[in-house]
Every structure is written in C-alpha cells, then in structure tokens.
Structure 1
Amino acid sequence: MGSSRRGSTGPGRTNDARDRDGEGRARNARPRDGLGRPLPYGAAGVPRQPEGIARTPPETVEEAQRLLDEGKPFHAHEVFEDAWKSGPEQERPLWRGLAQLAVGLTHCARGNVTGGARLLRRGAGAAEEWASAQGQPRPYGMDLAGVVVWARALAEAVERDGGTVDAARSAPRLR
C-alpha cells in the first residue's frame, strides 16, 4: 500500500525515496506553510505556487506583491524565479535579485537573521546594479530605489534587533 511517507511508491513517488513530478524530475511534494517550511506528509499546508508559469512582467509583479502582502514571501520568490528562468536574458539579474529579496524576507520571518540579512543585501545590490546598468529605475512600474532602501533597512533592523519579523507587515511595496 502506498503510504504518505517518503519512500513510498504512491502517485509521484518512486522507490528511490524521492518525490517526482509527472516527468520524473525530483520535486518535494510535502505540504508547506506560509513561509515555505515543509510540513509532515498529510498535514494541511497552504497552496503552493505552480512552477514554470509564464507570466508577463506586470503579472509577475502583481502576483508577487499579492503573495508578499499575504505574508508568503517564499511563494513570491517562486513567482520571481519563474520570471528569472523564462524571461529575456538581460532581465534575469533583475528577477533573480527580486527572488533573493523574497527569500531574504522569508529567512528573516523564520528567524534566520544572518542568512536573511545576507540575502536582502545581495538582492538589493542586484536590483540596484540592474537599474543602474539598464538606466531603468522603474521597470514595469516597480520602485527599485525604494525596494533597495527597504531591503537594506530591514537587513540592518534584523541584525540590530534579532528575532523574527512579521512577513506581511515587513513586506516591501514593489510599486
């Protein structure tokens, strides 16, 4: 019988103890909480963002902002990651930087001060560098200068104060 534990051979599973998608690629099927932390198999989690969705840049920004506002920065990171992987080559540093910012917020909300601050600064640097190199401080209506200020201020605050942050209350305004 297929159980809900890792290593079973139920749907999406193989005998090699790894969750697989329909094409055989490794994909963790465990449910996740709002901050993307894996929960035990069978637990109720939040709906996961489907992977590989091709969105327009404005749709990407809108969906990511909605998730950030809901306190789901991990899920927003997945939206940015889709844009990073499917977008034009010249825009990949922008979307990768925004994904890093979302993951940085995720780590800060989970209490990982060092990793969160590091990712916030890395993402801020990428967004700032992209805007400078492209001469576009407001691509797709985003306020990159404001996002950079937000990221650096949050990194400083979590390093100074420690602890965790509320992901929804600490989320940036992309536009």
Structure 2
Amino acid sequence: MGSASSGRTADARDRDGEGRARNARPRDGLGRPLPYGAAGVERQPEGVVRAPEDSVTEAQALLGAGKPFHAHEVFEDAWKAGPEEERALWRGLAQLAVGLTHSARGNVTGGARLLRRGAGSVREWAGLTGRERPYGMDVAGLAAWARELADEVERDGAAVDARARAPRLRGAS
C-alpha cells in the first residue's frame, strides 16, 4: 500500500512489463528522489552502449555540470557493456562518481569510503595493465584527486560542491 502523501498504491509502483523496478520519480542533480510531480533534472538514459572515448567525454560533461550521479550512470553502462578486461576500470570510475555524489550530499563516511575504493580500483587496474592513460584519462591523477577529496571530506565533515570539486578525467584535477 502506498503512503498517504504520495497517493500511489503498491500496484502503481514504477515497474516495466516484466515487473522490474523502473523508478520514474523525478530526481535532483545529485540523483536524490524528489516528490512525484516535482520538476527534476533530465534522467541519464540507462543501458546506452557508447564507444569508450564517448563515455569519457559524456561523463566529463556531466561531472563539470555538477551531476556526478549521472556520470556514474555513464560509467556503469561502460562497465556493463565493455570488455571483461576493462570492467575494473569502469567500475572504479563509477565508484569515484558515486563517492563525489555522496560527498556532495553530505554523507561523509560513504563519500570518503567510495572515493578511496574507486581510487584503489583505477590505480590497481593501471598497475595490472600497464595503461596509465586509458582513453586519455589520467588514472594516477584521478586516484590522487579522490584520496585528497576523501581526506578533505573527513576533515571538514561538510558537503562539497560537486561542480567545483569535479575531477578532470583527461588532465590534472
């Protein structure tokens, strides 16, 4: 049974034809759900297969716009659609974007933890493959950015500005 405030019932949940959850609720720029009927930001389409370079370019545009949650969706698509040997890279990048999302939402513990996990993943991937600049990305710089931001978030205990703290994927952060 739905809540009195939403006016929605259990039968009206957002589901596709096969019964899988498809949350159509509007969201803000950090991916937080808003009340039904509220104006939200345009959702990032899921399941889009892009060339890796296009994934990096699109994710960078979203990060620069202060939408790390949406950038995470792009990285997740690359992680799921890409070759097995690159999945750790894309998963690590998704973790960095989610870490920034949580840090911008004020979730100190979750943000710092995901930033460090993502930093470790991208550095480990580069170490295993010998590829320090996959698709032009500076993985060493991204790992350093993430560790520095994690330290800052824990030290200050306050939400960060996602746009101001967005990394540059292909250059110094």
TM-score category, normalised to shorter length: over 0.9
Gaps of 5+ in 1: 9-14
Give 5+ residue unaligned stretches, structure 2.
1-5
Find the counterpart in structure 1 of residue 20 from structure 2: 25
- Structure-2 change in CA distance of 1:76 and 1:144 (3 Å): same
Alignment of 1:106-117 (within 5 A): 106-117=101-112
| Residue 172 of structure 1: aligned partner | 167
Against the structure 1 CA distance between its residues 114 and 46, is the aligned structure 2 distance closer, same or farther, given a 3 Å change threshold? same
Deviates more, 1:18-27 or 1:36-45: 18-27
Residue matched to 1:151: 146
Between the two proteins, what is the percent identity of the paired residues? Answer: 76
> Could you tell me which amino acid in structure 1 is paired with residue 9 of structure 2?
G
TM-score by length of 2: 0.92
Task: Give the superposition deviation at 1:23.
Answer: 4.6
Distance in 1 of aligned mates of 2:49 and 2:111 = 28
Partner of 2:92: 97
Q: Residues 80-95 of structure 1: matches in 2 within 5 Å? A: 80-95=75-90
Tell me which of 50, 55, 59 is aligned to 2:54: 59
Residue 6 of structure 1: CA displacement? 3.4
Which segments of structure 1 move beyond 3 Å, counting only runs of 4 or more?
none
CA 1:108–1:7 in 2, change beyond 3 Å: closer, same or farther?
same
- In structure 2, the CA distance between the partners of 1:125 and 1:33, relative to structure 1 (3 Å rule), is same
Q: Tell me whether 1:50 sits opposite 2:45 in the alignment.
A: yes
TM-score (norm 1): 0.91
Deviations 1:93-118 (A, max 9, x none): 00000000000000000000000000
Q: CA RMSD in A?
A: 1.2
